[in-house]
Structure 1
Amino acid sequence: MFTPGGGAVYAPPGPNPTAPPVYGNVPGYEGFMAGGAGGYIPPPAPLHPVPTPDTQPEQIDWNIPAITEEAAQAAFLEFAGSNCCWSKAPAKDGVITNMEAFNTYRYRLETFTESRTTEWKTEAFTGQTVDVGLQPAPPPWAIQVQTPALFKDHEENIKVPNTASVKGCHVCQETGQTRCDVCTGSGQKQCNRCDGSGKRFQEACEDCSGTGKEHCTDCGGKGLQKCETCEGTRQILMFINLKVTWKNNLEDYVAQQSSGIQIGNLTSVTGKKLFHDTQYMVYPVLGFPDPNLAQASERMVREHQSKFSQSARIHQQQHTIELIPITKVAYKWKGGTHLFYVFGNESRVSADDYPATCCCVVM
């Protein structure tokens, strides 16, 4: 570039190119790699048989013994003692008049799946193996991948064999350099001392001599930086990337209960596992006394197997039923009737109407 007077001036490089590289055709991947974007690959047909009622574990007794009066009294006394300034008298001297058990069941279904997608990837070429065309590329689901721990999310990226080739870098146009992002190719950036104003305390800034600009240290004033795509090598390795995603698809159903306890209290406790079945595909729970939970199991199992078998390979399913025991206890103290609840394996207590919440004496 020249000025009208004939003197040459610096012309900063233009914006970095954004055109994508030209993708080649790999036999066996034509339908998955249209436009270089890649896509989802349907899984092969399952090899395992459809589950039947015979594959369920032996039925168990769903009835759980209720907590004893002594255990309820002990939990109540411990609860009262853990609250500062509460009198223990109601818990110690109160007379239990009624105990009612409310079994709350939590049903959980987990479906562990594997899905595979492909897409073109590029990385700087630094001497990696180039194997495109040496042999046919294996189909996506024929590539052996070690299955991780069951029922835990995991992801792996694998270079598909016999798809790697070398091409000139499209970002830097095979120069190894791109326009500096900090100074946009000018070689100068805003002065930090004066924030680009050129002045400090009404005088010319000493750092930039009043220009408001300073030497760009990121590119050494050249206006160019090493290409991040090819890392300055001017070439890139192109290959098909296989992304394998293992996912634990989890769904819960909590049976309704009418004990009166705040549901939020139940999140802090554990329950007793009554039922656990793990198979390639499970069968809905049979013989459970709560028909709503049995219906939820039938619906969830059907939906999981239908939904996930279409979009992924099902490796394993497991379902559990957990009991969170709740006992509603009525007691009398000083002529009044009150309630408390004992719940969870930990025998936690909730008593919103505890009648003696302050025993502190102000002197």
Structure 2
Amino acid sequence: SLVLSGYTAMTDTEYDGEGPSAPPEELLDPVAGYEGTPADGEGKNLPPPPDRVKKLSEDDPRPSSPEYRIPKVTEDVAREALREFAASKCCYSSTPAREMSFHELKPLTTYRYRLETFTETRSSGWAFEPYAAKKKVHGPPLNAYSPQCRTKKAPPPSFLKQSKVFILPCTALIPSTCHKCKGKGRIKCSNCHGRGKVRCTMCHGDGKRGNGDRCMTCSGTGKRRCSSCFGHGYKTCDVCQGKKQLLHFIQLTVIWKDNIFEHVPDRQPGFPVTLFSKVQGENIFQDANFLVYPIVGFPEPEICEASKKAIDEHFAQFSTLSRILEQRQTIELIPLTEIHYDYKGYTYSYFVFGAENQVHAPTYPGKCCGCTVL
């Protein structure tokens, strides 16, 4: 063995390399109710039991019809919005916005429907930790959705994404030999391959500098102590942290997520419906419950159809693999005004939309170059 500063490096006969990165599946005995749980750390989805799948009943409250008014944009607001739009472009003149004369301001009715489904999804996967003598909890494994099987902290507020991980009680197995270091508590240093020394970078292993003098960094040996393992030739196993044994258990991962469906009817020629995603509207309707009914009787039939479609799709998509905790549906009235104006004998048009009074003006007359309007 190589001796360096009182440390003895391992030889290949003492250690033949690291073990697998994950424990072999045959090491893990099946746990009742969790058969097929993967050993490679990937989670297996755990659908909620049938009694946890909520359904609507006739006694649940139904949404009432909203009351609202269609907002109007004045000429002053429309002119200022166009002026700010021109000022935001590097090669747009604000002269048309100042000198134009309005021909027509046409308010349009545009709605945005949104359904939010707040779900809780649980998955299981084998995990392990360095073994330390602890008091064990005996008994049959708990169901992942049982009241006793909950995270230490309360669920997050509704419609807020969050995740937590915790150990499923009564699934810890008898301690076993660490699969990575094979029970030695240490692994060969990958930097020096267990030798404790590496080639000197100052003299490139020659022991001499360019002028023929002995290299002072390695004292002429051409090798220096490995800085990764400090000359030991090995490192403490990062899996078992030197304890040589691991305690395997099933780990539950709980994910809370807000799943969103949105729909805006596309009925305004010349206005890209995708622009609505950049602005806010006025919330004229909100209905929240553990499950919501489709909206009926709304003046815009397409919104009623979108509500029914979204609710059916979300229930089919999430009720089998997750637990639906709450739903919320809203309708926003998004301001949209089509404006026609005259400038130097020609008629032009633009749109003012959203609570922020954004502008879409594909035919603005004050462009001094061929810029593309966004």
Please give the range of the TM-score, normalised by the shorter of the 2 chains: 0.7 to 0.9
Q: Which residue of 1 aligns with 2:193?
A: 184
Alignment: residue pair count: 348
Name the counterpart of 1:139: 143
Aligned ranges 1:100-179 → 2 under 5 Å: 100-131=106-137, 134-142=138-146, 143-145=149-151, 146-164=154-172, 165-179=174-188
CA contact (8 A) 1:259 1:328 kept: no
Residues 191 and 257 of structure 1, relative CA distance in 2, 3 Å threshold? farther
**Larger displacement relative to structure 2 (83-92 or 51-60):** 83-92
* Distance in 2 (alpha carbons) for counterparts of 1:262 and 1:40: 40
Does residue 345 in structure 1 map to residue 355 in structure 2?
yes
Decide which of 37, 45, 56 is 1:40's aligned counterpart: 45
Deviation at 1:122, TM superposition (A): 0.9
* Structure 2: tracts of 5 or more residues without a match: 2-8, 369-374
- 3-state SS of the aligned residue for 2:304? helix
Once structures 1 and 2 are overlaid, which stretch shifts more, 35-44 or 278-287?
A: 35-44
Q: CA deviation at 1:89?
A: 5.2
User: Alpha-carbon deviation of 1:150?
Assistant: 1.3
Contact 2:81–2:359 at 8 Å: present in 1 too? yes
Q: Which of 263-272 and 308-317 deviates more?
A: 263-272
SS at match of 2:145: helix
Q: Gaps (5+ residues) in structure 1?
A: 2-8, 359-363
Q: What SS is found at the alignment partner of 2:110?
A: strand
1:157 counterpart SS class: strand
Is the counterpart of residue 193 in structure 1 residue 202 in structure 2?
yes
**Partner of 2:371 in structure 1?**
none
Rounded to whole Å, the distance in 1 between the matches of 2:255 and 2:337 is: 44
Q: 1:152 to 1:203 in 2, by over 3 A?
A: farther
Partner of 1:67: 73
In structure 2, C-alpha distance between the alignment counterparts of 1:245 and 1:166, rounded to whole Å: 29
Structure 1 stretch 281-290 or stretch 315-324: which is displaced more?
A: 281-290
Amino acid at match of 1:118: S
CA contact (8 A) 1:32 1:40 kept: no
Asked if 1 retains the 8 angstrom alpha-carbon contact of 2:10 and 2:194, the reply is no
Query: Residue 5 of structure 1 corresponds to which residue in structure 2?
Result: none
Q: 1:198 to 1:339 in 2, by over 3 A?
A: farther
* Counterpart position of 1:23: 28
Distance 2:122 2:157 in 1: 17
Instruction: Tell me which moved more, 193-202 or 315-324.
Output: 193-202
> C-alpha displacement at 1:127, in angstroms?
3.8
User: CA separation of 1:69/1:231 partners in 2, compared to 1, >3 Å: closer, same or farther?
Assistant: same
Give aligned-pair identity as a percent.
Answer: 35
Partner of 1:301: 311
Name the CA shift for 1:202/1:55 in 2 (closer, same or farther; >3 Å): farther
Match of 2:335 in 1: 325
Q: 2:119 is aligned with what amino acid?
A: T
CA distance in 2, matches of 1:10, 1:53: 74
Partners of 1:255 and 1:199 in 2: CA distance? 79
- Which residue pairs with 2:320 in the alignment? 310
CA positional deviation for 1:113? 1.0
SS of equivalent to 1:298:
helix
Instruction: Report the CA distance between 1:199 and its aligned residue.
Output: 6.9
Secondary structure, counterpart of 1:310 in structure 2: coil
Cα contact 1:152–1:247 (8 A) shared by 2: yes
Distance 2:44 2:362 in 1: 56
Which stretch shifts more, 100-109 or 79-88? 79-88
Equivalent-residue separation in structure 1 for 2:59 and 2:266 (angstroms):
26
The one-letter amino acid of 2:202's match is R
- CA–CA distance in 1 between the matches of 2:344 and 2:270? 24
Please show how residues 129-278 of structure 1 align to structure 2 within 5 Å.
Answer: 129-131=135-137, 134-142=138-146, 143-145=149-151, 146-164=154-172, 165-194=174-203, 201=210, 206=215, 207-208=217-218, 213-263=223-273, 265-278=275-288
SS in 1 for 2:267: coil
Q: Indicate the SS of the match to 2:291.
A: coil
The SS at the match of 1:292 is: helix
RMSD of aligned alpha carbons: 3.3
Deviation, 1:211, is: 6.6
Secondary structure, in 3 states, of the residue corresponding to 2:262? strand
Q: CA separation in 2, counterparts of 1:103 and 1:190?
A: 76
**2:53–2:319: 8 Å Cα contact kept in structure 1?**
no
Q: Letter of the aligned partner of 1:169 in structure 2? A: C
* CA offsets 1:275-325 (integer angstroms, 9 cap, x no match): 222111122222233333332322221111011101011101112222322
Shifted more, 161-170 versus 245-254: the winner is 161-170
CA contact 1:122–1:238 (8 Å) conserved in 2: yes
Cα offsets for 1:129-184 (capped at 9, x unmatched): 333xx222322211133321111221111112223343332322322111112222
For residues 68-107 of structure 1, what are the structure 2 equivalents within 5 Å? 68-76=74-82, 79=85, 90-107=96-113
Q: Alpha-carbon deviation of 1:102? A: 2.9
